Amino acid sequence: MEEIKKIPQRSELAEKDTWAISDIYPTDEAWEQDLEHFKALTQKQAAFAGRISASAKELLAYLQGTEEAVILIENLANYAMRKNDEDTRVSKYQAMVGRFMSAYVAFNAATSFETPELLSISDETMEQFYADAPELTAYRRYLNDIRRRKEHVLSPVEEKLLAAAGEMASAPDNIYGLFADADLTFPDVTDSKGNTLPLSQGAFVPYEESSDRVLRKNTYEALYHTLGSFKNTAAGILAAQVKQLQFFADARKYPSSLDAALDVTNV
């Protein structure tokens, strides 16, 4: 393993060793423009409420808009979150992630009518829709995946309420990320030759994969001793996450949070 003398600041790295985030957006301003476009698209998609079950044409137009929204979501999220990951202490990008999450939750709430309305379409009508608009077959798998979870879908009002709780539900994960990646610092560790090495969350795995048993032992103890000194905070974050998962599992009538998690990917 190449010896790590110092954990560099990102500004000290060669550009070739950093993410090419400019491939997503060349500037923060370009990201801002797409965020506004996403908000406008949210309003456009919300206007389809009560219409997507009316005809194949309306359903197709809605799904095409949703596809555009998904691409925007992936680009907006990746740019904001990767910029935040570069240095989780930078408030500008913490705020950018927060603004994206607010817009994303608003989109989910505005389109929460989708699943209940899709489930109201009979199998016979859906097949007729595919015949009326052959372009819909590109979305058949997406539609089938929604329709298979019928017993776990709530009323439109209840679905909108759950969607609106999305930002609050992500709080335990967000808090842990800031705690572990921004606030925590770890002591240096020594290897079998007496060399002092800097320890971080990123360096932990490379050190644990070292052939040097002394380094592996010191690394493990240093990281977990540090985490252990905040055991009450860590336990509180974990308890909040468990309660969040159980709440949504109960709301959707799953026997457990594990069943709910596996059903998302049809395992």
How does pLDDT run across 116-160, given as a tens digit for each residue? Answer: 999 999 999 999 999 999 999 999 999 999 888 888 988 888 888
| Residue 266: per-residue pLDDT | 83
DSSP H stretches of helix in the chain = 28-46, 56-86, 91-110, 114-119, 123-132, 140-147, 156-164, 166-169, 171-178, 201-208, 213-228, 231-251, 257-264
Does pTM top 0.75 for this prediction? no
d(CA 183, CA 9): 16
For residue 189, what is the enclosing H or E element? strand 189-190
Average pLDDT rounded to a whole number, residues 228-244: 94
| Residue 220: per-residue pLDDT | 97
pLDDT at 237 over 90: yes
| Residue 156: per-residue pLDDT | 83
d(CA 22, CA 170): 27
- The model's pLDDT over 42-73, given as tens digits with 9 standing for 90+, comes to 999 999 999 999 999 999 999 999 999 999 99
